[in-house]
Amino acid sequence: MKFSRLAATAGAGVIALGLVSCSSTGGKPAETGGAGGTGGGVNTPRAVVAMITHEVPGDSFWDLIRKGAQAAADKDNIELRYSSDPEAPSQANLVQSALDSKVNGIAVTLAKPDAMAPAVKAALAAGIPVTAFNSGFDDYKKMGVQEYFGQDEKLAGIAAGEKLNGDGAKKIICVIQEQGQVALESRCAGVTQGFKGSTEILNVNSKDMPSVESTITAKLQQDPTVDHVVALGAPIALTAIQSVTNAGSKAKIVTFDTNAALVDAIKNGQVDWAVDQQPYLQGYLAIDALWLYINNKNLIGGGAPTLTGPSFIDKGNIDAVASLAKAGTR
């Protein structure tokens, strides 16, 4: 798959995002008597929305999701109830609890869709609208969810693999920090497909960061021909910096996803580049879309996913997003 296909697909997502921006600038739809415009909020009835994710404790990526979601909730007169659990059965229980408390809408990640499907089905059967975001690109339609906000992880991986080709990489390790997490596995599958060199999958446990560091160190010591470490999250990439030093390796580090600390790592050359899926935007759209549906029965994307990525952040454009990252929105 060439980058032209990526551009076309991402372009479709940009069109969809343009429609979002036209539909959700703040204010109740004119035909229902709302104030509209760019004020500090809407006058629609107070709604309660649950956002339930597979957040791993300590991963700052999810702070960006929550900030985007809260910004939309504040604008839309929504009480946002955020909860998370990295274990799929527990996450499904949180969805059921939200259903039992009779929320008006649910925004959910589908990192392990099989475990989540019964709870999501129950919510939909009860007439509660559900949006999916961040994880579940390949499964949300099968589960009956009408809207998805995120990136095509396989496509993002392919784009990353092709970029590695351009960087002259020959042998890489793709580090998966949670086995069985479909988005992460799709990323590495895409990297493997797009990359022309040799790829090895390295599984680590993100709940034990010292072991992540030692596992990557051991791999680099064992195989000095590895020239790139592909991380799937900013905390893993930042840990890999120390692993490269420990191993005396010349491997370069690239990653998916960003945070403020990663911005500094790109600026000082410790990390070459990052794939950005715009988590703030994912959180914002997942909540704003529920407001649109609850109040005006709008559906974004016509059943197709609304793409929020991928794009690349490197030394060439890092200054444009650095201040936003420091403020906690990129």
pLDDT digits (tens, 9 = 90+) for 93-136: 999 999 999 999 999 999 999 999 999 999 999 999 999 999 99
What per-residue confidence (pLDDT) applies to 19? 36
- 4 touches 272 (CB < 8 A): no
Cα separation, 102 vs 110, in Å, equals: 21
Residues with Cβ within 8 Å of 235's Cβ and at least 6 positions away in sequence, in order, are 58, 59, 60, 206, 209, 259
Name the residue ranges covered by the structural domains of the chain. Answer: 3-152+278-309, 153-276
Burial of 99 per CB tally in 10 Å (0-12, 13-18, 19+): buried
What is the side-by-side order of every strand in the sheet holding 198-203? 198-203, 171-176, 228-231, 252-256, 273-276, 311-314
Superfamily of domain 3-152+278-309: Response regulator (3.40.50.2300)
Q: Do domains 3-152+278-309 and 153-276 have the same CATH topology?
A: yes
What per-residue confidence (pLDDT) applies to 40? 58
What per-residue confidence (pLDDT) applies to 249? 98
Q: b/e for 125-136, b at 16 or more Cβ within 10 A? A: eeebbbbbbbbb
Class of domain 153-276: alpha beta
Phi, psi of 212 (to 5 degrees): -60, -50
Express each pLDDT in 226-237 by its tens digit: 999 999 999 999
What per-residue confidence (pLDDT) applies to 297? 96
Low-confidence ranges of the chain (pLDDT < 50): 1-39
What per-residue confidence (pLDDT) applies to 60? 84
pTM: 0.82
